């Protein structure tokens, strides 16, 4: 594993869903962790109360209670910030490379 036993993102792929103020879901990211584990369909969302973005990790709704549960997610702030930095930087670079 990476420094301080933290997982390392060894690959990231971002797909832009669209642009504009009216879009809540801006794109999706797939990440490979330590060249051995894939997390797909991490949503890149527009932050509601501030500038910038937030991540929404894959989730599933139960049949019985209709509640949503995250299937995978960072368990501490350090890892969450790492995921945000890598995914948001990749998203921004991809935006800059596309025609407007």
Question: Contact, 91 vs 29, CB < 8 A?
Answer: yes
pLDDT of residue 19 exceeding 90, the answer is no
pLDDT of res. 2: 43
Q: CA 71, 74, 77, 82 torsion: positive or negative?
A: negative
**pLDDT > 70 fraction of the chain, expressed in percent and rounded:** 91
Dist CA 92 CA 82 (whole Å): 15
Least confident interval from 21-25, 36-40, 51-55, 75-79: 21-25
What confidence score (pLDDT) does residue 49 get? 80
How many other C-beta atoms can be found within 10 angstroms of the C-beta atom of residue 91? 20
pTM over 0.85: yes
C-beta atoms surrounding 93 within 10 Å: 10
Q: Once rounded to an integer, what is the mean pLDDT over residues 12-18? A: 91
Q: How far apart are CA 59 and CA 49, in angstroms?
A: 22
Q: What is the reported pLDDT for 55?
A: 96
Sheet strand arrangement including 9-16: 9-16, 25-33, 37-46, 53-56
Higher pLDDT: 98 or 60? It is 60
Of 3.30.70.1150, 3.30.1780.10, 3.30.1120.40, 3.40.50.460, the CATH number of 3-97 is 3.30.1120.40
């Amino acid at each position: 594993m990476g420094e301080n036993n933290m997982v390392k993102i060894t690959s990231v792929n971002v797909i832009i869903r669209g642009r504009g103020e009216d879009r809540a879901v801006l794109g999706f990211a797939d990440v490979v962790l330590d060249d051995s584990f894939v997390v797909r369909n991490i949503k890149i969302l527009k932050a509601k109360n501030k500038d910038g973005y937030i991540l929404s990790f894959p989730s599933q709704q139960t049949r019985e209670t209709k509640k949503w549960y995250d299937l995978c997610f960072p368990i501490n702030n350090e890892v969450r910030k790492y995921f945000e930095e890598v995914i948001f930087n990749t998203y921004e670079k991809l935006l800059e490379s596309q025609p407007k």
